[in-house]
Amino acid sequence: MRRLTMKSTLKNALSIRTPSKEEARSAPDSIQNGNHNGSQNVRRLPLERMLVDSGLITHAQANEALETAHREDLTPQQVLIRDGILKSKDIATMLALELAIPMVDLGSQSIESAALVTITEDIARKYQVLPIKREGNRLTVALADPLDFRLIEDISTLTDTRLQPVIATPEDISENIEIAYRRTQDLAEVSSDADEEEDVAVTAKVLSDSPPAQVIDLLLRRAAHDRASDIHIEPTEQRLRVRFRIDGILHDVMNLSLEMHPTLLSRLKIISGMNIAERRRAQDGQFTAEIENRKIDVRVAISNTVTGEMAVLRLLDKGFTLLGLGQIGMEKETLARFRKLLRLPYGIIIVCGPTGAGKSTTLYAAILEMNRVERNVISLEDPVEYRIPDINQMQIQPEAGVTFASQLRSTLRLDPDVILVGEIRDQETAIIATQAALTGHLVLTSLHANDAVSAVMRLRDLGVAPYLLTSSLAGVVSQRMMRVVCQGCKSVSPPPETDRNAYEAETGEELELYTHGVGCNVCAQTGYRGRSGVFEVLKITDPFRQLILTDSSRPDLLEQALADGMVPMRREGMSKVKDGVSTPYEVMRVLYTLE
């Protein structure tokens, strides 16, 4: 009987007559002015009674929660969750069962633009509601407490709709408000019945009518929201193409009018300190932008193409927290091998991989692992991307004659214990680095090479004598970055045949089930969110040194490396597949070669 009463009460609360437009403008003063107070709502009692009747809390806990809520101007639900008496998911599940209202996972829910425009982001944040779908005069809204009838009535009046509530946890609502509104927050107006494709068109139209400074600001803000590392602005014959690199993959974001191209590139040149009149030669520059109270360094590269100048903006968040070695994705055995190398008093340790493989992150993590009080650590970087406490960082400036080679020579007179050389680019730097290692210094550096064995051959090709390599080289780390399965939409199912065959070919084991993402709002329907490193660590042993001295071939070097215990990157990548971190497709995408 109690449950039927509750359902009928809720039904009556939701059967609010549709107000006139004049009433809609004047009625929701309580919500617009912030007068809505859930803790003083006289119809709040049924929730606590339901929690007691369901056995989730006791009468004493309910009474104490009510008193605390009234005293601290909170809802009893917020008090119970804050004090650890209940979890928000427990309350949401109970309400869904008792009231026969659907409980939804907003991460996998499609959220329509037509619904979002009915409630402003400020109101959605303040009252923790998220509009999901609009069908005519009916608006589906996710909320944490469907018994808060005053809030339901105010939202219904404000939006001039009849509400269809669904239940979600407060944490789920908060997270998805940020995700759902990020595409619309930069727009001055959006059509109330626009779909996603129309949203993109409206975005492009608004930007096309905006001054260049505002366009750049909006692009930076959207890129920061989307976790983009790079913004590509590329002219074609018909359009100005804008793409974001997210988790290592480029995504088309929008198409702008070609008429914007000259003014947009000129503005970028001005704020980046470039020559605005130069249009034929490549130029580099940088500027700092402040986005949502975060300072972001933007490195700008502009170069001419047959269709006009293209620009690539690299975003570096100054508030980014540097990762430790235990956070970059190394497997347990690989991490132990690398840490052994870092404890050496002298020698060269090389981190190799292509551009964007995360080499700098690994080098920084290695430095953070060291005792920077007892050891003098000096870094030579071009550019200095992030500041590390307790080390001396030096900026390379080739235009002023300050190169890696020249600065490395002077650094040896500064009594260093550890030297970080940002990159070995030429023979001179390579030879000086090996000599520094021979004179009792630990040298950390990066090199462009496909794998650990190729890095050794690359140094040999740069002109470093085999006897210098065998005396100075301590170890090589090769790495890639691969995408991680989205935690919001991960699912377990039998793998496709190509994925299964790739896994079995590398490991010799069968892959009956694998973890993958099905696509949700959190990961922009890609199934992946974030990236993790995959590594191989080559420790230079005496047998390996002997092969270097005899100028052995790559297959011989690789065979010895495997015999010395090196786990290839592909094998470590498939280990992450087994652990549910990534997928065979992603391992093949970043690691498979024509071998």
Tell whether the model's pLDDT for residue 232 goes beyond 90.
yes
Q: Which CATH class is domain 2-181?
A: alpha beta
Tell whether the model's pLDDT for residue 155 goes beyond 90.
no
pLDDT above 70 covers a percentage of the chain that reads 86
Tell whether the model's pLDDT for residue 349 goes beyond 80.
yes
φ, ψ at 462 (rounded to 5°): -75, -10
Comparing 376 with 41, the larger pLDDT belongs to 376
User: If pLDDT is split at 50, 70 and 90, which confidence band does 593 have?
Assistant: low
User: For residue range 31-69, what is the model confidence (pLDDT) as tens digits?
Assistant: 344 444 433 333 344 677 778 877 788 888 888 888 888
User: For residue range 505-527, what is the model confidence (pLDDT) as tens digits?
Assistant: 888 899 999 999 888 777 777 88
Q: What pLDDT score does 483 carry?
A: 92
- Please state the domain extents for the chain: 2-181, 196-317, 325-482+532-572
User: For residue range 393-417, what is the model confidence (pLDDT) as tens digits?
Assistant: 898 888 777 888 888 888 888 889 9
Q: At CA 448, angle to CA 445 and CA 454, rounded to 5? A: 100
Tell whether the model's pLDDT for residue 209 goes beyond 80.
no
Task: Give the separation between CA 256 and CA 203, rounded to whole angstroms.
Answer: 9
Q: What pLDDT score does 8 carry?
A: 44
User: If pLDDT is split at 50, 70 and 90, which confidence band does 20 have?
Assistant: very low
pLDDT above 90 covers a percentage of the chain that reads 31
Task: Give the separation between CA 594 and CA 246, rounded to whole angstroms.
Answer: 27
User: For residue range 417-476, what is the model confidence (pLDDT) as tens digits?
Assistant: 999 998 888 888 898 889 899 988 999 999 999 899 999 999 998 989 999 999 999 999
Fold of 325-482+532-572: Rossmann fold (3.40.50)
> How are beta strands 392-395 and 473-485 bridged, if at all?
unpaired
Q: Which of 14-23, 42-51, 337-346, 526-535 has the lowest mean pLDDT?
A: 14-23
Tell whether the model's pLDDT for residue 14 goes beyond 70.
no
Cα(first)–Cα(last) distance of the chain, in Å? Answer: 72
Spatial neighbors of 220 by CB under 8 A, at least 6 apart, are 231, 289, 291, 296, 298, 313, 315
Task: Give the separation between CA 150 and CA 130, rounded to whole angstroms.
Answer: 16
Query: How many H-runs (helices) and E-runs (strands) does the chain carry?
Result: 25, 18
Q: Is the pTM of this model over 0.85?
A: no
User: If pLDDT is split at 50, 70 and 90, which confidence band does 217 have?
Assistant: confident
Q: What is the mean pLDDT of the chain?
A: 81
Please report where in the chains the tokens 């023979």 appear, as a residue. Answer: 427
Residue 401, beta-bridge partner list:
none
Q: Which CATH class is domain 196-317?
A: alpha beta
